[in-house]
A = this chain, B = another copy of it.
Amino acid sequence: MLMVYLAGPEVFLPDAIELGARKKRLCSAYGFEGLFPLDNEIVQEPSGERLDRLIYRANEAMIRRADFGICNLTPFRGISADPGTVFEVGMLAGLGKRVFAYTNVAQHYIERVKRKETLAFDSARNVWRDADDMTVEDFGNADNLMVDWAVAEHGGVPIVRHDAPLSDIQRDLCGFETCLRLAAEVFAKSA
């Protein structure tokens, strides 16, 4: 049975364990074994090693053990996805594993930036600039182009973009289930 690493900021929710269990049940329904980061249940070692370092090592080991990943790229604490999850997209791609991803906010990246601040159009370069004079990517992507294209190139399908109800934005699993369906199709073809 293929193992899938379940990356996403839901590890920060008070009900992370329950949500992880829901994700793992859905994985089973599609014939996969889900690996949820909290499974590691890190315990402080007598060595006194820092807890955050132990968590990092356990998560990296879990990513290496996985056959592929499904990453939750819903905007987190700002305009972009959770940096921990984005790091994991990169590590999965670097390890040559397939990456599927979803976001519970369908808007283009630039639309989210525009909601936060007024942009200026630089007609000499034909780009939008923010208050720091920095280009705002306008390719119709969900996030920075490196993230969108890593998923499209290393997963074979673009980031799944679905507008979840605002009250359920960190917990909605429609996009997640779409990723499972896509992964099942991709692996059935390559089997």
- A-to-B contact residues, CB < 8 Å: 9, 12-14, 50-53, 55-57, 59-60, 76-84, 86-96, 113, 122, 125, 129-130, 132-137, 139, 141, 143-150, 152-153, 170
B77:A77 contact, CB within 8 angstroms: no
Beta-carbon contact of B135 and A52 below 8 Å: no
A153 near B57 with CB under 8 A, answer: yes
Query: How far apart sit A84 and B136, CA to CA, in the bound complex (Å)?
Result: 13
Interchain CB contact under 8 A, B84 and A87: no
Q: Using CB atoms, name the residue of chain B closest to A50.
A: B139
Name the residue of chain B whose CB is nearest to the CB of A133: B14
**Which of B9, B53, B93, B135 makes the CB contact (< 8 A) with A149?**
B53
Among A12, A13, A152, find the residue whose CB has the most chain B CB atoms closer than 10 A: A12
Report whether A84 and B144 are in contact in the complex, using a CB–CB cutoff of 8 Å. yes
Subset of 7 A-B contacts with CB under 8 Å: A9-B134, A80-B83, A81-B83, A83-B143, A88-B90, A89-B90, A90-B93
**Copies of this chain, how many?**
2
Contacts of A133 in B (CB 8 A): 13-14
Q: Is A83 within 8 A of B147, CB to CB?
A: yes
What chain B residues lie within 8 Å of A137 (beta carbons)?
52
Task: Decide: A170 and B88 in contact? CB cutoff 8 A.
Answer: no
Which residues of B lie under 8 Å from residue A50 when comparing CB positions?
139
Closest to A112 in B: B77
